[in-house]
Chains A and B, each alone.
Chain A
């Protein structure tokens, strides 16, 4: 809900309206699919980051996916990409939004892993904010306990 600003309090006072506070209960399951599942399993069991290659477009998609968005070919060629890469962009997100996996401030970044054609969106840690820079080299730090989630990579840290 928006903050109760002076303007808003004034309006509420005048309007004398009823506000009903509700919540919707909607559990949902999300299927990773055959390709997404293998990507997550390789990360969980072997600490490997896998991509799928489109030979015709000469692209390696990470996270792996089943169809090339350019030529619509079905992708079945798996390649392991490096756990090291280059930071394409980053932000220090200071605002809590209720759904973050760790307390803010959180550094988010897009990492182009060596051998991949697409960037992996993840968190960056173990670096002072003022030392962050586009182009810096980073390396995946895997979680001790891995469960088959993108959070099996805890974060990327500077090399």
Chain B
């Protein structure tokens, strides 16, 4: 039988609106240094240390072609086996997981960075659109998300108040997470009174500009047990892609997420996700997304996520705390967000999340996405 793959160390920077004091390499090194110190591992090509590094960054955000060149001396790429994944970093963890399952490598460092403060977010998002049929319209991920939010709320009766309660919950959870960027003591009225950016999305329905980095080390079971007191096992992982042209989709649906979840659950032996998973970290750049993705992940029926939230199930102390960390809404950069979710889930499963610890977590769900209206969806199940 194939050995399991364990996460043996995780580290994140504190998320910040602007880390002008560090370049991309220096920023990611803050996280890399911590996981190297925690495990005592060194980079080695003879099987005695870290066999390879998988990074995740995005050329347009780094403002250069081949963005991994930006960080190579800080993540062990020098004279080593390297691979770069673009889009969301949960896919970098998935890639490292698959590399280890191949039997070819035993220990892999995964590192991701993004400095949103350095780029033009709307311009970068517009450049991701089809150049002939969408880009010239001036669409960006915000206006695309607003089209999705409206369609979802219209079709399933989700209210602006329910979306606002996601923000109140997650910004509130962030108060207990020392790495969170923008914890807030706010009310539904504060959210509904904030400026409309692209209706129905308001300023507080969206995440702040953020800089940050995350690193983790994955190892095959035999080595993971020696490297960590509490290795956290990747029990299932998958991803799935939506169609690219926004008009092809009913934007109220998230079929790719449904498929990604089914595949990850099958691998992990999850039959009833609501009762088999104890905590979830879900990527939500906009408030409606936590509700829509909850439904796509099968935590409830379509259109029921608002009521699930209202019932308190997803609050700290509920049956399934969602985003104890504060999520993306409290401030994570795109690209880094998926891996930040995974790192947070690892802390939860180790029982080391401190003030924002969910009680007795045995299995965690991790979600990441990238692109307009969640085009690429990734799901991972972790267990202790």
Q: Which residues of A contact B (CB under 8 A)?
A: 1-2, 5, 7-8, 11-12, 14-15, 17, 19, 22, 24, 28, 30, 32, 36, 40, 61-63, 69, 88-95, 97-101, 106, 108-110, 118-123, 129, 134, 149-151
Contact = CB atoms under 8 A, between A and B. Distances in A.
Given A32-B132, A101-B138, A150-B133, A134 B151 contact: yes
Nearest to A107: B199
B147 A108 contact: yes
Contacts of B69: none
Contacts of B146: 91, 93, 108
Contacts of A110: 147, 151, 246-247, 251
B-side interface size class:
35 or more
Given A91-B143, A110-B247, A122 B122 contact: no
Nearest to B201: A91
Contact of A151 (B18, B20, B136): B136
B18 A8 contact: yes
A2 B248 contact: no
Interface in B148-162: 148-151, 154
A24 B17 contact: no
A19 B196 CA distance: 32
B147 A90 contact: yes
Contact of B199 (A12, A92, A100): A92
Given A91-B143, A99-B135, A118 B123 contact: no
A100 B125 CA distance: 12
A74 B137 CA distance: 28
Contact of B198 (A30, A92, A109): A92
Contacts of B201: 91
B143 A7 contact: no
Given A1-B120, A91-B199, A134-B151, 14 more contacts: A5-B17, A5-B18, A30-B131, A88-B151, A90-B150, A91-B198, A91-B201, A92-B199, A99-B135, A108-B147, A121-B247, A149-B136, A150-B132, A151-B136
Contact of A122 (B126, B137, B142, B151): B137
A122 B139 CA distance: 9
A30 B138 CA distance: 17
